[in-house]
Chain A
Amino acid sequence: MGMLLQIIENWKTQVRKGYLELCILLLIQQNKRIYGFDLLDQLSKLGLPLKEGTLYPLLNRMTSDGVLSASWETENLKGHPRKFYSLTKDGTRLLTQMEDEFQEMIKIFKTLQK
């Protein structure tokens, strides 16, 4: 039983990887602008817990890629600065393509299930 659990967990990690990026982009799109901590919160509530040590590097990379644009904002004089993310034009195009691809995958999946 223990080995099966391991196999499942491995598979989940693999599948989630691409899927998570899709979900993150969708969330950012929904929120228009969102900062890291908030994003972690929402992902957790959705049932997609992501380790913060994983999310921040991912956001950093997507910003470098030009999928996201980031800006720093300080809520008030006392507060600490927060880095807000939003989708770029390219990011929006990418998201659309990812959504289409994912729809395709679901279609095939549903066909296989019959």
Chain B
Amino acid sequence: MVKNKQLDDYLARLDKALGSIPISERADIITEIKSHILEASERDPNQSLTSILNSLGEPESVANKYLLEKGLKPVKPSRSPIVKWLTIGFVSTVALLLGFILIVIWFFTPIINVDEKNGRVQIMGGLIDINAKEGSIDIDDGQVKIGTKDKARVSGNQNLEDVQNAQVELNLTQGSFEIETNSRNQVEWECQMGPEQQEALTQDYDGKVFKLNFEKAVGVTCDVSIPKVALVRITGTNGLVNISEPNFAMDVQLINGLVNFEPNNKLAYNYDTSIETGFQDQFTSSNEPTAIPIKIKVTNGSISLER
């Protein structure tokens, strides 16, 4: 019967518009309104269902009156499904766009913050904080200051045979190093290190390659002076390395680091510098055949040129 469908539709709309009211109460309200409609129909059979419903009013406004009496927020009458769907479409698009922007920002935000002026590199939002000025490297689980407290000056040296063909290797886990040249035939180092670090420092010399291993001596500050060897290799995890006027080829590889290179103005260099995340200065290579190869590779940090 058409009559019933019209009634059912009306009551369904009313139920929906009563939304925030608990279900048992909603059922009660619907039953009462239905009862009223049926009663009106019985009392005056000539009155059409339409006019009865019109007298009641739109189900949404009836529902609103219930909500208002209860002090609840009334529901806005939905004009038509089109408006509703346009709104949904619009809101979803905006949400998608925002989501996309957030992803882009997250993706491109550098994990590393390099502050060259102050000699500071922060990695992972400060999880690793390298401060060249203070000479400290903070790692999340505590500060490892490369400072002078509780440390003694420890020096050592190693005589090198056949200097010009010799190689020097420096391995470090964490430390600050000053690399200089000397005209004596030996590698000399002077470090600030505590007793544990002294014990942890190892050396190895096979007549050709001299290895100075600071890997277990974490958090040292050293001056290393090297004669005119063929190659100086420095490998490390976290390091601050200052290279001063070298006359030897170099291969520096650091994961997190600040490398400062001061060229000797009388010498020609051929640079191969690379940095993954961070900053580097412009290094101009020389074309001369005698140019000294300088390779510096830093994953996170900075490579700076000192004039």
| A52 lies within 8 A of B55 (CB) | yes
* A30: interface (CB < 8 Å): no
CB interface residues, A 24-45, toward B, < 8 Å: 36-37
Q: Which of B43, B57, B66 contacts A60 (CB 8 A)?
A: B66
Is the CB–CB distance between B69 and A60 below 8 Å? yes
B35/A81 in contact, CB under 8 A: yes
Q: Which of B36, B38, B61, B68 contacts A56 (CB 8 A)?
A: B36
Could you tell me the dominant secondary structure of chain B's interface residues? helix
CB neighbours (8 Å) of A64 from chain B are 70
Q: Mark B51-71, 1 if CB is under 8 A from A, else 0.
A: 000011100011001101110
Nearest chain-B residue to A82 (Cβ)? B35
Complex CA distance for A81 and B35, rounded to whole angstroms: 7
Closest Cβ neighbor of B58 among chain A residues:
A53
* Complex Cα gap A36–B33 (Å): 9
Give min CB distance, B30 to chain A, whole Å.
11
Tell me whether A37 and B69 are in contact (CB under 8 A): no
- B-chain residues with CB within 8 Å of residue A37 when the two chains form the complex: 35-36, 39-40, 43
A83/B69 in contact, CB under 8 A:
no
**Number of B residues whose C-beta is below 8 Å from A?**
22
Contact of B66 among A57, A80, A81 (CB under 8 A): A57
How far apart are the CA atoms of A82 and B36 in the complex, in Å?
A: 8
Which among A53, A57, A61, A80 is the interface contact of B39 at CB below 8 angstroms? A80
Other-chain contact of A57, B34, B35, B40, B65 (Cβ < 8 Å): B65
Instruction: Say if the beta carbon of B47 comes within 8 Å of chain A.
Output: no
Residue of A nearest to B67 (CB): A57
Measured in the bound complex, the distance between the Cα atoms of B39 and A58 in whole Å is 19
Whether the pair B32, A36 counts as a contact (CB closer than 8 A) is yes
CB distance from A24 to the nearest CB of B (A): 13
B29 within 8 A of A: yes
B65 touches A54 (CB 8 A): yes
Chain B 19-42 against A: per-residue CB contact (8 Å), 1 yes, 0 no? 000000000110111111011100
B55, closest chain A residue (CB): A52
Which 6 A/B pairs are nearest by Cβ-Cβ distance? A61-B69, A57-B65, A57-B66, A53-B57, A57-B69, A37-B39
Query: What are 27 A-B contacts with C-beta separation under 8 Å?
Result: A36-B36, A37-B35, A37-B36, A37-B39, A37-B43, A51-B55, A52-B55, A52-B56, A53-B56, A53-B57, A53-B61, A53-B62, A53-B65, A56-B29, A56-B36, A56-B66, A57-B66, A57-B68, A58-B69, A61-B70, A80-B39, A81-B35, A82-B35, A82-B39, A83-B28, A83-B31, A83-B35
Given contacts A56-B66, A72-B31, A83-B28, 6 further A-B contacts (CB under 8 A): A36-B36, A37-B39, A54-B65, A57-B65, A61-B69, A83-B31
| Chain B residues engaging chain A, CB cutoff 8 angstroms | 28-29, 31-36, 38-40, 43, 55-57, 61-62, 65-66, 68-70
